[in-house]
Amino acid sequence: MELFKLLIRNALRHKLRSLLTLVGIGVAVMAFALLRTVVTAWYAGVEASAANRLITRHAVSFVFPLPLAYRDRIAQVPGVDEVTYASWFSGVYIDKNQFFARLAVDSETFFDVYPEFVIEPKQFEVFKRERNACIIGIDIANRYNLKLGDMMLIEGDVFPGQWEFVVRGIYQPRDQTTDPASMMFHYRYLEERVRQEMPQRSGEIGWYIVRINDPDDSAAISREIDRMFANSRAETKTETERAFQQSFLSAASAVITAMNIMSFVIIGIILLVLGNTMIMSARERTHEFAVLKALGFSAGQLFFLIAGEALILSTLGSALGLLVTLPAVEGFQAALPKGWFPVFYIKPETIVFGCVSAFLVGLAASIIPLRRVLTTRIVEGLRHVG
C-alpha cells in the first residue's frame, strides 16, 4: 500500500507537466481514432458486401448502360438464384450540396436481393402500387424531416426535367455497415419518361445484381455470364460485390494508405511524448532512486514505481482522448457535405486498439528510464545533483 501511495505521489509531483502530458496523449489518441474512423467509413461499402451477390456491369466502364434484355439470359445461368437491376439517377434535391444515392430499381426483386434494407410490409405494398413512389433511408428522413406521404422534388441532370416522388416507405438499416441514406424508386417510372423524351436510351439499365446459391461458385458464374455477352455490343464484366466496391476505392487508395500509416505514426508520437516525460522524471529522481536501492528496494519494486507512473499517465491520457473522440467524430461528420460518408461510426476495434496501445506504450516508455535506474550505481546516484 505504501508503495502504491508513493507511485501516486510521483505521478502527481509535477502537476503542470503531468497535465500537459495527459493532454498531449489525449489529442494524439483522438487523432488516431478519428483517422481510423475515416478509413472505416471509406471501407463501409466493402464491409457491407454480401458473399452471395455478384455485380454485372459494362465491361468498358460503370457509366455505360446495359440492355434490359440481358436479365432473362443471366437468370438462366446455373447457380443463379435471383437477378435484379438498378440505374444511377443522380439529380439535385434542394441544392447540389445535398448528396445521397438515388436509384431507379426493379421494385419487385431489389429488396429481396438486398434484405439489409428493412422496410415494413405495409409500406412496401403501398410503394409497389404507386408509380412515382419512393423509399428512403431513415437518415434521409431525419435529415430533411420527411415523413410518409411527403413529396420530394428532384431536378434531373442525367435524366433532365423535374421529377416528383412521394415518400411511401422509410427503411431501417439492418446493421451498422448498411447505408441508411439511399433513395429507391420504380425503374418503370423512369422508363416511361425516357421512352417519351429520350427514346434512344429506352430499355437500358445501369447494372445487374445477381444473387447466387453458393458463394464458392462466384468465379465460375462470373465467367459464364461474361462469356454469354462476349463480342456483343455491350460486353459485361461480372465480379463479386466486394470486388466491385473495392474498385471504387482504387482511385483514393493512396490517400487511404496515407491515413492508415498516419494513424499508426500517431502511436509513435504518443510513445515519444510519454517517453520524454518519463526520462525527465527519472533523471530528476536519480538521487531518490539511489536512496531506495540503498534501503533495499528490489528491481521489481523500482519497476513498479517507474512503469506504474508511465501506465497511469498513458491510461489517463488515452481515456481523455477516447472521451472526446465521440463528439469530435460527430463534429467532423457534421462539417462534411451531407452524404459524403453515409456510414460513419467508431468501430469497437478502434477503441480496443487504442486501449491496448496505451498499455503497451506505457510499458515501452518505462524501458529507458528503468534501465538507467537499474544500471546506475548507488554511489553515483547519491552523488548526482539535479
pLDDT at 121 over 90: yes
Task: Note the pLDDT of residue 46.
Answer: 62
Percent of the chain scoring above 90 in pLDDT: 32
Q: How is residue 202 annotated by DSSP? A: T
Please write the tens of the pLDDT for every residue from 229-245.
Answer: 998 889 999 999 888 87
Same domain, 306 and 226: no
Same domain, 316 and 205: no
User: Is residue 203 within 8 Å of residue 68, measured between CB atoms?
Assistant: yes
pTM for the model stands at 0.71
204, 234, 264: which is the final residue of a domain?
A: 234
Task: Note the pLDDT of residue 291.
Answer: 74
Tracing cell 478509413 back to the chain, one arrives at 39
Identify the residue with better confidence: 285 or 154. Answer: 154
pLDDT at 264 over 80: no
Task: Note the pLDDT of residue 54.
Answer: 94
Q: Residue 115 corresponds to which cell in the numbers above?
A: 434484405
Task: Note the pLDDT of residue 252.
Answer: 59
* CA pair distance 320, 204, nearest whole angstrom: 55
Task: Note the pLDDT of residue 130.
Answer: 92
Percent of the chain scoring above 70 in pLDDT: 87
Same domain, 190 and 88: yes
Task: Note the pLDDT of residue 104.
Answer: 94
Which is nearest to 330 in space by CA: 320, 318, 344?
A: 344
Please write the tens of the pLDDT for every residue from 193-250.
Answer: 888 888 877 888 999 999 999 999 999 999 999 999 998 889 999 999 888 877 766 6
Q: Residue 155 corresponds to which cell in the numbers above?
A: 431536378
Same domain, 285 and 373: yes
Identify the residue with better confidence: 271 or 66. Answer: 66
The least confident of 39-43, 224-228, 307-311, 360-364 is 39-43
Secondary structure (DSSP) of 152-175: EEEEETTTTEEEEEEEEEEEEESS
Domain that holds residue 352: 2-44+252-383
Task: Note the pLDDT of residue 310.
Answer: 80
Task: Note the pLDDT of residue 293.
Answer: 74
- Looking at the structure of the chain, the number of domains it has is 2
pLDDT (mean) for 148-162 = 89
Tell me the pLDDT of the chain averaged across its residues. 82
User: Is residue 166 within 8 Å of residue 151, measured between CB atoms?
Assistant: yes
374, part of any domain = yes
Task: List 212's β-bridge partners, or say none.
Answer: 80
The Cα-based distances of 288 to 9, 25, 66, 83, 346 in angstroms read 13, 27, 79, 76, 44
Which is nearest to 133 in space by CA: 159, 162, 89, 167?
A: 167
239, part of any domain = no
Same domain, 9 and 91: no
Same domain, 196 and 267: no
pLDDT (mean) for 134-154 = 92
Instruction: Work out the number of other CB atoms within 10 angstroms of the CB of residue 188.
Output: 12
